[in-house]
């Protein structure tokens, strides 16, 4: 058992490492693709050669980042087969479909048109080249769509049925998988957050030019485009974040409770704007969850239910299966103990079905299939021995969520200030304080982006598929030592890849900072 948990833990660390490195590149690809498209559109309309030079500069940075994102993304998908083969078997028909579409349609679309972007100057018409640039941006968004559809299904499994004869899930409704509320909100929230990151990156690099007092025109024009794309992105990200909060409260209430460090819910639940958790607090004691907190009255009820008086359950409420009506009346739901019992009944029914199938006893197969269907919604809980095993890491989820929210609020203010300065107080852009603010915001937006991803993934632990499969049941039959070796190999590989990207980008930016913007020919 200890070796199994070591394999699970190391496999989770390896997947988290790959995903977080991959997520350093993906949002910048999504954001820069839009910004480059806007810039080339301006050039196409006014045929100003300076805009062509600006477009080519940011396009080069986009291409460097795109290549690194592809490298990490391929490894990420391979890990499902190497480290999580039981998961791949259990849901291969569902999870594989969107990933196959992503590979066959979106990725090939990106690869085709990105070649035209970089090598099509002077070989195709300006209109065709502009179309290729926008189609590359569309391909990047479609690639994100299918990957996020697959991820959203893991958070909220719909459109599928369990086939006991195959002992795996099969897809019953493709469009239910694609159009689930979790998938829709996750797609828009993720892609738009990429616009934010791309906008900050462009503004920050442009501030470096201002700091060096070179390419002032490139910097000012780029700040306008990056500022507007970033502002639209952060406003829409906040709006879609509201939809995501409603979906999480409905389909993953334990994640929401962990995000707020909430153990005992109530009607008209306040939201913690800032707080420090009590490390001694557990589900088994009566200690205060917070050492310090600043809360907004009714905030969580409004965020999660769009109703100031709505009941939001805490961790203990969910474990005990307790809900409250708006009038304060108690309503019993399925407690975690009940879910564990139902999950074990589902496991027993599945075993009985397999044994009956071996001897050809159709009556027993029918009876076992009915018992399995009755209890299958809590199939995953049958793997647990204690209700506490279904509680995610509260502290990491809480701090990641609040760090994301605080950083997001700062980014909104940042874009408003930047656009005000570039349009109304352009002379203030010469201030070193403003320039350094732009530069230092680059790491802030990456911290915000990574925090959002940590919230989404850590908050749903211990599940790899919500309510159906915990991570311990999804693992491959491999040794912990082999995962440890590849983990450290990936640490070296990904760190080297990141360092290489940063060095190449800095070289390109540094070269441009030493050269004034000049007119270029297409």
Q: In the Cβ-directed half-sphere of 155, how many Cα atoms lie within 13 Å? A: 31
Q: What is the band of 473 on the pLDDT scale with cuts at 50, 70, 90?
A: confident
The residues spanned by each domain of the chain are: 2-252+393-513, 256-332, 336-387
Work out the end-to-end distance of the chain between its first and last CA atoms, rounded to an integer number of angstroms.
64
- In this prediction, residue 414 carries a pLDDT of 93
> DSSP character for 488?
H
Q: What's the mean pLDDT when you consider all of the chain? A: 84
- In this prediction, residue 410 carries a pLDDT of 93
Task: Please count the other Cβ atoms lying within 10 Å of the Cβ belonging to residue 329.
Answer: 8
Query: How confident is the model over 162-176, as pLDDT tens digits?
Result: 888 777 888 888 888
Measuring CA to CA, how many Å separate 118 from each of 42, 95, 110, 370? Answer: 18, 33, 12, 58
Q: What is the band of 36 on the pLDDT scale with cuts at 50, 70, 90?
A: very high
Nearest CA-CA partner of 219 in 197, 204, 232, 234: 204
Which of 184-198, 319-333, 500-514 shows the lowest mean pLDDT across its residues? Answer: 319-333
Degrees (nearest 5) of the Cα angle 271, 273, 277?
A: 90
Q: How many residues does the chain have?
A: 522
Reduced to 3 states (helix: H, G, I; strand: E, B; else coil), residue 221 is helix
Q: What is the band of 444 on the pLDDT scale with cuts at 50, 70, 90?
A: very high
- In this prediction, residue 514 carries a pLDDT of 60
Mean pLDDT of 314-339: 76
Degrees (nearest 5) of the Cα angle 192, 194, 197?
A: 120
More confident residue, 174 or 35: 35
Q: What is the band of 1 on the pLDDT scale with cuts at 50, 70, 90?
A: very low
Is residue 415 predicted with pLDDT exceeding 90?
yes
Hey, what are 170's tokens? Answer: 């099969």
Which of 194-208, 479-493, 508-522 shows the lowest mean pLDDT across its residues? Answer: 508-522
Is residue 199 predicted with pLDDT exceeding 90?
yes
Degrees (nearest 5) of the Cα angle 336, 287, 257?
A: 45
Query: How many percent of the chain have pLDDT more than 70?
Result: 93
Highest mean pLDDT among 102-106, 345-349, 357-361: 345-349
Mean pLDDT of 489-516: 80
Mean pLDDT of 393-408: 92
Is residue 324 predicted with pLDDT exceeding 70?
no
Is residue 80 predicted with pLDDT exceeding 50?
yes
Q: Contact 401/259 with Cβ under 8 angstroms?
A: yes
CA distance 425 to 409: 23
CA distance 72 to 496: 12
Is residue 522 predicted with pLDDT exceeding 60?
no
Is residue 308 predicted with pLDDT exceeding 60?
yes
Is residue 5 predicted with pLDDT exceeding 60?
no
Query: How many percent of the chain have pLDDT more than 90?
Result: 15
More confident residue, 180 or 478: 180
Residue 328 gets the label, from left (phi > 0), alpha (psi -120 to 50) or beta, of left
Query: How confident is the model over 211-244, as pLDDT tens digits?
Result: 888 778 888 888 999 999 999 999 999 998 888 8
User: In whole angstroms, how large is the CA radius of gyration of the chain?
Assistant: 25
Hey, what are 86's tokens? Answer: 């039981």
Query: How confident is the model over 95-151, as pLDDT tens digits?
Result: 777 777 777 776 677 778 888 888 888 888 889 989 998 998 888 888 888 888 888
Residue 167 gets the label, from left (phi > 0), alpha (psi -120 to 50) or beta, of left
Is residue 411 predicted with pLDDT exceeding 90?
yes
Strand pairing report for 322-324 and 311-312? unpaired
Q: What is the band of 421 on the pLDDT scale with cuts at 50, 70, 90?
A: confident
Mean pLDDT of 253-267: 88
Mean pLDDT of 61-82: 78
More confident residue, 104 or 325: 104
């Amino acid at each position: 058992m200890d070796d199994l948990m070591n394999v699970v833990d190391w496999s989770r660390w390896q997947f988290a490492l790959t995903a977080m490195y991959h997520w350093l590149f993906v949002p910048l690809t999504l954001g820069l693709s839009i910004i480059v498209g806007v810039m080339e559109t301006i050039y196409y309309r006014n045929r100003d050669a300076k805009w062509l030079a600006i477009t080519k500069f940011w396009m080069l940075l986009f291409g460097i980042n795109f290549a690194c994102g592809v490298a990490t993304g391929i490894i990420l998908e391979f890990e499902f087969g190497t480290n999580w083969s039981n998961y791949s078997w259990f849901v291969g028909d569902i999870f594989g479909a969107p990933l196959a579409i992503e590979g066959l349609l979106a990725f090939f679309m990106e690869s085709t048109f990105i070649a035209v972007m970089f090598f099509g100057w002077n070989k195709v018409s300006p209109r065709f080249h502009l179309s290729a640039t926008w189609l590359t941006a569309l391909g990047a968004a479609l690639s994100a769509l299918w990957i996020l559809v697959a991820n959203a299904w893991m958070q909220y499994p719909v459109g599928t049925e369990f086939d006991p004869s195959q002992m795996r899930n099969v897809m019953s409704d493709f469009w239910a998988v694609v159009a689930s509320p979790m998938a829709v909100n996750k797609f828009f929230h993720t892609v738009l957050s990429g616009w934010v990151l791309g906008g900050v990156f462009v503004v920050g690099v442009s501030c470096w030019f201002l700091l060096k007092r070179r390419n002032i025109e490139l910097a000012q024009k780029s700040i306008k485009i990056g500022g507007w794309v970033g502002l639209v992105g952060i406003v829409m990200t906040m709006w879609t974040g509201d939809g995501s909060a409603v979906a999480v409260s409905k389909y993953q209430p334990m994640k929401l409770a962990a995000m707020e460090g909430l153990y005992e819910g109530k009607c008209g639940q306040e939201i913690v704007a800032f707080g420090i958790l009590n490390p001694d607090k557990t589900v088994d004691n009566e200690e205060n969850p917070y050492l310090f907190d600043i809360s907004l009255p009714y905030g969580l009820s409004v965020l999660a239910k769009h109703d100031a008086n709505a009941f939001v359950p805490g961790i203990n409420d969910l474990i005990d299966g307790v809900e409250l009506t708006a009038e304060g009346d108690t309503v019993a739901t399925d407690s975690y103990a009940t879910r564990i019992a139902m999950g074990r009944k589902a496991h027993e029914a599945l075993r009985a079905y397999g044994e009956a199938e071996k001897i050809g006893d159709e009556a027993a197969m029918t009876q076992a299939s009915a018992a399995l269907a009755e209890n299958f919604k809590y199939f995953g809980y049958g793997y647990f021995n204690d209700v506490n095993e279904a509680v995610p890491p509260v502290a990491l989820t809480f701090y990641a969520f609040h760090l994301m929210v605080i950083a997001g609020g700062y980014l909104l203010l940042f874009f408003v200030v930047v656009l005000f300065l570039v349009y109304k107080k352009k002379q203030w852009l010469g201030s070193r304080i403003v320039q350094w603010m732009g530069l230092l915001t680059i790491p802030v937006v990456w911290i915000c982006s990574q925090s959002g991803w940590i919230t989404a993934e850590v908050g749903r632990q211990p599940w790899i598929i919500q309510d159906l499969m915990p991570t311990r049941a999804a693992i491959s039959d491999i040794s912990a030592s082999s995962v440890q070796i590849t983990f450290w190999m990936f640490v070296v590989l990904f760190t080297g890849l990141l360092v290489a990207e940063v060095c190449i980008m800095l070289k390109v930016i540094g070269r441009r900072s030493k050269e004034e913007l000049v007119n270029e020919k297409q």
